Every structure is written in structure tokens, then in C-alpha cells.
Structure 1
Amino acid sequence: MMGRVIILISLCVLSVVEGLYFHIGETERKCFIEEIPDETMVTANYKLQLYDPRTGGYMPSNAGLGMHVEVKDPEDNMLLSRVYSSEGRFTFTSHTPGEHVICLFSNSTKWFSGSMLRVHFDIQVGEHAIDYATMAQKEKLTELQLRVRQLLDQVDQITKEQNYQRYREERFRQTSENTSRRVLWWAVGQVGVLLVMGWWQMRHLRKFFEAKKLV
């Protein structure tokens, strides 16, 4: 029983909220790789701040400054490509399990003229991406009904995480088997080359000895 609890806790940790900030320059692109199960909703919040050389700090960015967001799935298909405002949220749903690439950049230089931008970035995966407060108001759910909905979403997300782990294990096993097969054929090829070289050397030495009438 304790082992099952540990497994459930470990799987839940995979869907925690990831918050960070980073700096980008003019037209600089920052990309992140997020491992996401299939049919999983992802929501990301961001906010841009402009560096102020007079104070050495960061201030709210200009209203005209936008953030270009691109999201690609593991098969390099474009899931999202759109320009957003200086602060906002974007959402997408994965259709293929694996590593999704999320890229952020500003393709405008006229707004900060060589200054650095600080980008606050927050990714929410799975049930963490659902706004339950809005859902409760929209569907007029009671506190108990909302809690049941949250539990069902958590169970569904755990199932997706387990399926994704099985998918990764299967891919790893296939990679290992392919590597082992290639190593085996490489070893067989090396042995074959050595045998052919040994036969050729023996044949050459035999002809040499016959020519010298030593045998």
C-alpha cells in the first residue's frame, strides 16, 4: 500500500507548476523542452519587463511590445504560432506524447533599443492548467462537486502519466534492442573480415613458399 502511495505522489510531482524568469535581447529566441503526455492541456503565463539603465532595475514593458510564441510537438509539427501582448497567457493541448519545444522571442527592436527584457514564465501542465474557480462559476458546481471534479482530473492525469512512462520504456527498449543488434552485426562483420584476411594471408604465404620451392 505504501509503495502505491509513493508511486502516486511521484506521478503527481511530474505535473507541478514550473515558474521561472529569464533575460532575452533583441530578436533573441529562448526555447524550453517540456515532456508532456498525449491529450494533455498546457497553460503558460508570461510577463515582460523592460530593463531601465537609469535605475538598473526592470519596469513594465511598453504596451506595443509583443511576445511571439511557437510550440512544436515531438514530430516537429507546429501546434501554436502567434504573437501575444506584453503580458498574458497561452494554451495548447498535446496530441502526441513526448518532448514539446516551446519558444519565446520578441521580433521587435524599436521598443527597447538594445535593452534587455526580463520574461517571467510560468508553465502549468495537466489539471494544474484548469481554472477550477471559473469552472465552478460557469457550471454552478458546489464545493463537493468541484472537489470530485478535481479528483477525477487528477486520476485522469495520473493515468496519462503512467501511459507516457510505459511509452518511454517501450521506446527505450526498442532503442536498446536496435543498438544491441547493431553491435552484434558489427562484431560478426569484424570476425568475418579477420577470417577473410587470415585466409588471404595463408593463401599468399603458401604461393610464396611454393614459388621458392620451400614446400
Structure 2
Amino acid sequence: MDRLFQIYLFAIIAVSSALGLYFHIGETERKCFIEEIPDETMVIGNYKTQLFDKNINDFMPSSPMIGMHVEVKDPDGKLVMSKVYSSEGRFTFTSHTPGEHVICLYSNSTKWSMFGATKMRIHLDIEVGEHANDYRQIAEKDKLTELQLRVRQLLDQVEQIQKEQNYQRYREERFRQTSESTNQRVLWWSIGQTCILLVTGFWQMRHLKGFFEAKKLV
């Protein structure tokens, strides 16, 4: 039982992947975030927008007319998702390529002046992997007991750990390939420099020999 608890605790610590924050954007500004995501991993983003009200000098909930455009690109630069949402909600996508995914958010409206607003505050919470699962809903749907639900959570966390380990191996492989490529280029550059020095030295020797012979010094 102690061993199971240790594994469960390690799983919780090792797969703690959630990003909660808020930031401000202008009317035509966009904010992008880079999230390292293993392959075949679900990502859920919950957001809420607020517009700055000059009259009360504070942020108030945005009008439903002002929505949020969410754009996601995979590590290869391919568009994974591009969709317009309302002023508050959630977006979901599943990664198919491991690596750095770029998540960009910007307002779909350029008529903030109608509401007397100059900037927007966006509350964003990104959940990756098993953190994106709503286990309360899963328990109600599958009629799981508390123990069965804990086992389900543990299995999901172990699966996510395996994905993270696979992703780390993928990064190590990419790093090794980059290092080998860099070392090869450095080697060829050194060989090129050596050849240039040898040719330059040979040319200088011939030039000096011709100079000395012309001056009848040798």
C-alpha cells in the first residue's frame, strides 16, 4: 500500500502541468505562448475576458459581441486550430506532434471604442494531459466508486508520465542530432581553415622564393 502511495505521489508531482495567469492586450494586439506538449495529448484552455472601464477605473466583464480568436500551431508551424469563441469559454485540441506548440490569442473585434475600452484583460488557464480530464463527470458517467476513480486517475497519470518520458527521449534525440551536426560543421570548418593556411603558406613561400631570385639574393 505504501508503494502504491509513493507511485501516486510521484505521479502527481511529475505531471503537474497547468498554467494559470492573466495578461493585458490592446485592441489589435495578440499574445502568444509556447507550451511543450507530448504527442497525442489533450489540452484544454479556459479563458475569461474583461474590458477596462474608464468610468470606474476597473475591469468589467466583456460584452458578448467581443469574442476571442484562438490560434494553435504545432512544432512544424502547421495550423492545428483557428477558431473564434465568445468573450468567455474554453478551447480544446489534441497534439499529434511532440514539441513546442504556439498558442496565440487576440480579440476578434476592433470596435472597443464603442464600449469606451482601451485594453482587455484575459484570464487564461491551460490544462495539459490528465489535468484536462473532469474526473467528477467521469465518475458520474461511468458510475465509479471513489477507489475506482482513484485507480483511474493513477492510470491516467502513469500514462501521462510515459508520454512525458517519451517526449524527453525525443528531445534528447533531437539534441544529439543537433550536436552531431554542429560538431561535423565545426570539423569541416577546421579542415577548411587548415587547407587555406597550407595553400596561403605555400603561395607565400613561392612568392618569397621568386622575390629572392629576382633580387639575386639566392
TM-score (norm 2): 0.91
Q: Shift in Å at residue 34 of structure 1?
A: 0.2
Aligned-partner SS, 2:178: helix
Structure-1 residue corresponding to 2:78: 77
Counterpart of 2:187 in structure 1 is 184
Residues 11, 161 of structure 1: 8 Å contact kept? no
Deviating above 3 A after TM superposition, structure 1's stretches of 4 or more consecutive aligned residues are 8-15, 111-114
* 1:84-99 equivalence runs, <5 A: 84-99=85-100
- Report what 1:108 is aligned to: 109
* Conserved? CA contact 2:15–2:161, under 8 Å: no
Question: What's the CA shift for 1:54?
Answer: 1.3
**Unmatched 5+ stretches in structure 2:** 1-5
Post-superposition offset of 1:30:
0.3
Structure 2: distance between partners of 1:50 and 1:68: 16
Corresponding residue of 1:193: 196
Instruction: Find the residue that maps to 1:134 and give its secondary structure.
Output: helix
Q: Which moved more, 1:103-112 or 1:89-98?
A: 103-112
How big is each residue's C-alpha offset from its partner over 1:160-213, in whole Å with a ceiling of 9 and x where there is no partner? Answer: 001111111111111111111111111111111011000001011111222222
Query: Is 1:24 paired with 2:25?
Result: yes
Matched to 2:85, the amino acid is Y
Instruction: Work out the CA distance in 1 between the residues paired with 2:48 and 2:11.
Output: 30
Summarize the alignment of residues 34-183 of structure 1 with structure 2, pairs less than 5 Å apart: 34-111=35-112, 112=115, 114-183=117-186
Mapped contact 1:45–1:123 kept (Cα < 8 A): yes
Contact residue 11 and residue 157 of structure 2 kept, 8 A? no
CA-atom RMSD, angstroms?
1.9
CA 1:32–1:72: 2 relative to 1, 3 Å: same
Matched to 2:144, the amino acid is L
Q: Return closer, same or farther for 1:78/1:68 CA change in 2, 3 Å cut-off.
A: same
What is the deviation of 1:113? 5.1
Cα distance change on mapping 1:190 and 1:14 into 2, 3 Å: farther
Structure 1 residues without counterparts, runs of 5 or longer: none
Contact 1:11 1:158 in 2 (8 A): no
Query: Equivalents in 2 of 1:9, 1:157: separation in Å?
Result: 12
Following superposition, the deviation at residue 133 of structure 1 comes to 1.1
Q: Give, in whole Å, the separation in 1 of the partners of 2:185 and 2:33.
A: 33
- Report the CA distance shift for 1:94/1:167 in structure 2 as closer, same or farther (over 3 A): same
Cα separation, 1, equivalents of 2:46 and 2:56 = 26
- Counterpart amino acid of residue 187 in structure 1: S
The letter for the 2-side match of 1:132 is Y
Q: What SS class does the counterpart of residue 144 from structure 2 fall into?
A: coil
